Structure 1
Amino acid sequence: MIIRSLFVPFIGTALLLGSAAVAAKTPTAFTATYRVTQGGMPLGDAEVTLRDAGNGEWIYSKTVKGSGGVAAMLAANLEESSRFRWKGAVPEAISYDYALSSAIKNKQRHLRVDWPKKQVSVDEGKGAKTYPAVPGMVERNTLALAIGMALRGGRTSVALPVAVKQQVETQNFKVTGKETVKVPAGSFDAERVERTDADRGFSAWYVPDRYPLPVKLSQHDGGNVEMELLSYRAD
């Protein structure tokens, strides 16, 4: 797949492991833009936004428009939108909408959480499937934000319950070292994070004292896709 969820990706509440925690300040509204490449070839730019939806809820959205390479030829565009509420420093899921459109394929996914019933409903156009919700769970769109908040709170490893297609699964991530990375937004001394419970080829570089999102992300599951920070603005 040319464009997919690019910020991918325990039963019980979210479990954070590592060094002693501190209270992580949740971010206000922001807009971040990224350069997206696949195999070193440009695909387009991604815009990631966070905004206050009122009543204690937030909307986190990502849009990727295919303006380069094969993505442009296929007119491929990806839109993801999540609604969540902060549970401490964890963006606890309320809903998630995914829409991929291209000249050869269209795909949608709609996830809803009924917290009074503690139930997740996932519909990809063939009828909704349900499974039990887990307190403190996130979904794949907000996963990068959840990791960033854990690092901002002083964590060096994190295990998070993530709502996926058919269940809530535990995903584990760990800081594996510090590296200097150069991206269009500048040069940063960053913390490198790897997923440790599965060989998914996921690496992300965070500067948690500056940004809640990674300055660079590399993912090999589904294609050699990289995202590099172009700009970040607190709104």
Structure 2
Amino acid sequence: MTSSHSLRTFAAGLALAFSTTVAVAATPAPTPFTATYQVSQGGQIIGEAVITLKSSGNGQWEYSNRIKGTGGIAAALGANSNETTTFRWTNGAPETVSYDYKMDAGFKNKQRHTDVNWTSGQVTVDDGKGPMTYASAPGLVDRNTTSYAIGLALRAGKQAVSLPVAVKRNVETQEFKVTGKDTVKVPAGSFQTERVVRSGDENTFSAWYAPQKYPVPVKLSQSDGGNLELQLVSYKGGN
């Protein structure tokens, strides 16, 4: 498997693996932050991921996830991906308004735009091969914001999370659950965490959260798609 493919798989896995149809009661408004991660494959560092949340005005927020290849073939190819979501804050949780994905890896490029019309209740997805439209669902998120929605649910004390996620052709219900507590050491420090798995992927995907400290994982491990791992390097609140 090439490093460019692994980077693309990681971007998808990071987003998919990380997002509650249930309302999170009394959750305060979003707090801007920047989280930086180390991306590795088989013990070798191959990239850096930076997740940023900031206000975009008019009651909406921008959540971006940028991954840059910094080692091996990923660096040689200039492999990079960029995911940006605009969401509104509804019932204490993010609700997607639009989502954009772009991936550049040498000779291969990929992109996707998702737009949610909450007035008509329709989702439109276009990856360059013609738009597809389907019905939205309350609390809808996309693969980019699943991690943030999961963190908020854990912070509110949830041990199981059900998320309607906008994918290419439909709304896909994804189930996540806490399976235990672990002490995790990453470049950012040592944390007491809750281990979260995605139903159906218990043996291929795990994310570790310290939800009372951060709304995003401190570590993510994904064996499906190249034994990729993400570890938190730094977290900074504010714009």
TM-score (norm 1): 0.92
User: Of the candidates 18, 39, 42, which is equivalent to residue 39 of structure 1?
Assistant: 42
Q: Which residue of the partner structure matches residue 14 of structure 1? A: 21
**Aligned equivalents of 1:197, 1:86: Cα separation in 2:** 29
Counterpart residue type for residue 210 of structure 1: K
**Aligned equivalents of 1:60, 1:115: Cα separation in 2:** 19
- Aligned-residue offset at 1:26: 3.9
Secondary structure, aligned partner of 1:160: strand
Counterpart residue type for residue 7 of structure 1: A
Does the 8 Å contact 1:89/1:146 carry over to 2?
A: no
Q: Are 1:214 and 2:194 matched, yes or no?
A: no
Counterpart residue type for residue 3 of structure 1: L
In structure 2, the CA distance between the partners of 1:22 and 1:111, relative to structure 1 (3 Å rule), is: closer
Secondary structure, aligned partner of 2:147: helix
Does the 8 Å contact 1:22/1:154 carry over to 2?
A: no
- Aligned-residue offset at 1:222: 2.3
- Residues 71-100 of structure 1 show CA distances to partners (whole Å, capped at 9, x for unaligned) of 112210010100001112321010000000
Instruction: Name the % identity.
Output: 55
Aligned counterparts, 1:52-201, within 5 A: 52-198=55-201, 201=204
- Unpaired stretches in structure 1, ≥5 consecutive residues: none
Secondary structure, aligned partner of 2:168: coil
**Aligned equivalents of 2:73, 2:203: Cα separation in 1:** 23
Does the 8 Å contact 2:25/2:92 carry over to 1?
A: no
**Aligned equivalents of 1:189, 1:121: Cα separation in 2:** 40
**Aligned equivalents of 1:171, 1:33: Cα separation in 2:** 25
**Aligned equivalents of 1:204, 1:42: Cα separation in 2:** 18
**Aligned equivalents of 1:89, 1:62: Cα separation in 2:** 21
User: Of the candidates 7, 22, 25, which is equivalent to residue 3 of structure 1?
Assistant: 7
Q: Which residue of the partner structure matches residue 50 of structure 1? A: 53
- Aligned-residue offset at 1:234: 0.5
Query: By percentage of residues, which structure has more helix?
Result: 2
Q: Across the two proteins, how many residue pairs are aligned to each other?
A: 228
Q: Which residue of the partner structure matches residue 226 of structure 1? A: 229
Aligned counterparts, 1:19-34, within 5 A: 22-34=25-37
Secondary structure, aligned partner of 2:206: strand
**Aligned equivalents of 2:72, 2:29: Cα separation in 1:** 37
- Residues 129-154 of structure 1 show CA distances to partners (whole Å, capped at 9, x for unaligned) of 11111111100000000000000111
- Unpaired stretches in structure 2, ≥5 consecutive residues: none
- Residues 97-133 of structure 1 show CA distances to partners (whole Å, capped at 9, x for unaligned) of 0000011311001100011111101101011111111
Secondary structure, aligned partner of 2:149: helix
